[in-house]
Amino acid sequence: MAGNGGEIQWCFSQVKGTIEEEITEADIISCVEFNIDGELLATGDKGGRVVIFQRDKSIDAINSESMIAESDPGTASLVPDNEDTDIEGSPPSLNLARSQNSQLAVPVRGEYNVYSTFQSHEPEFDYLKSLEIEEKINKIKWLKRTNPAHFLLSTNDKTIKLWKVTERDKRPEGYNLKDEEGLSRDSTNITALRVPVFKPMELLVEASPRRIFANAHTYHINSISVNSDQETYLSADDLRINLWHLEVTDQSFNIVDIKPANMEELTEVITAAEFHPTECSLFVYSSSKGTIRLCDMRAQALCDRHAKLFEEPEDPTNRSFFSEIISSISDVKFSHNGRYMITRDYLSVKVWDLQMDSRPIETYQVHEYLRSKLCSLYENDCIFDKFECAWSGGDRYIMTGSYNNFFRMFDRETKRDITLEACRENMRTRTILKPRKVGTGNKRKKDEINVDCLDFNKKILHTAWHPLENILAVAATNNLYIFQSKD
């Protein structure tokens, strides 16, 4: 899976979305999440819709590498904008489902195709507070599969929903009291008993809401995390974290509350929270002050007192007006083995050992060249962008996003890093991505883009790494890019 020196060579695989110049707000992707085994990939958007992609399992898809190399990229076909999706019940305007997918005659190895689309949330209005509640999907989390159905949690600012996704490829026929069109028969004319039978039908994927968890958050929900016991989950907003049972919708337990008695004394807010991957009593939450608190629910019911506080002493030489803003943590993720966690602030990614809370064991600069641009980034509100981060399946690599549709990867073993770009220029399947570099000087080197030329409207906020393989899902505005390792 890696090239010389253990480095992974990344190739373009697919892109889902349209190339329209005018991008509608509703089509902007707001979260990306692989399921437990990576066979399904879910995205949520600002229009409240969830699109699920399924990995192609056919033998042709796995063994098509040699044939693809000979394919002509000119055979790529676009699904026309006015064509409906082939998933029953999905909105025709769903751009993700109408994927512009660089489709070749032979499927790409590991290709993800639309499996199901559904409207998860609708816009609402809080009449008591005169506030509009957006339909935007903030987070999606998959549950472990225990039967043929798939289950996932999705949330907007206020309401969390548990969805069940099932397949149906047979339908019953031969009812006694109904005819073939489903109309009731005249019971006096029924003279014989028929045994209904199941007959094959075209595969239908249905998504149905099984639970709705509402009215528990005063502020906007920024995180949900399923516990390793697969029975409970947490939801976090700016000031509180609640613990839910997946079977109980009308009550939750408040396990963290940092709201001061006087709101004028408020100094920080909760920015992200996550359960430990194996220890069901442990969870962490990060704050806008750059701190991470590890809590143990065995110690007390209300975890206002943390078990550990992870905080890095500030470097006085870098102190500025923007220090507090850029130190705010936008994402926190446990490693798969549960030993480490990564946090993302505005300029860097840090790796923490749970056994050492005094300082991070590794720090990676994502776009240090922007430190001199903080004033203009403050003026255009980009300094408040919330970038996510992701671990590779083996916890060796870390991925996070940047501007100009760049995303960064860091190798924890070799300490090497690479900048790649999600763009449509290299759309030939299996094309190796060229590393990108950003220059800060007046003289521009070859294959280098100057920091003044970066497009801050193009930003990679949401990324996901396949839990078992080197496959990346990168959301760039309304497009979903999928990359995979060469080998």
From first to last of its 487 residues, what are the pLDDT tens digits of the chain? 454 445 789 999 999 987 777 788 999 999 999 999 999 999 999 999 999 999 987 644 444 444 433 333 333 333 333 333 333 344 433 444 444 444 433 444 569 999 999 999 999 887 777 788 899 999 999 999 999 999 999 999 999 999 999 988 888 887 777 776 767 777 777 778 878 888 888 888 999 999 999 989 999 999 999 999 999 999 999 999 999 999 999 999 999 999 999 999 999 999 999 999 999 999 999 999 999 999 999 998 889 889 999 999 887 877 788 999 999 999 999 999 999 999 999 999 999 999 999 999 999 999 999 999 999 999 999 999 999 999 999 999 999 999 999 999 999 999 999 999 998 886 777 778 899 999 877 776 777 888 989 999 999 999 999 999 999 999 999 999 999 998 7
pLDDT value of residue 78: 31
Residues 36-63 have pLDDT tens digits of 999 999 999 999 999 999 998 764 444 4
281-289: which pairs have CB atoms within 8 A and are 24 or more residues apart? 282/307, 283/225, 283/234, 283/241, 284/332, 284/334, 284/341, 285/223, 285/236, 285/241, 285/256, 285/332, 286/329, 286/331, 286/332, 286/343, 287/328, 287/329, 288/324, 288/328, 288/329, 289/324, 289/327, 289/328
How does strand 197-213 pair with strand 223-226?
unpaired
What letter represents residue 56's amino acid?
Answer: D
CA distance 283 to 296: 7
Residues 71-99 have pLDDT tens digits of 333 333 333 333 333 333 444 334 444 44
pLDDT value of residue 195: 83
pLDDT value of residue 431: 79
**With a threshold of 0.75, does the pTM exceed it?**
yes
pLDDT value of residue 190: 76
How does strand 112-119 pair with strand 49-55?
antiparallel
pLDDT value of residue 444: 67
pLDDT value of residue 61: 43
- Can you give the residue ranges of every domain in the chain? 10-165
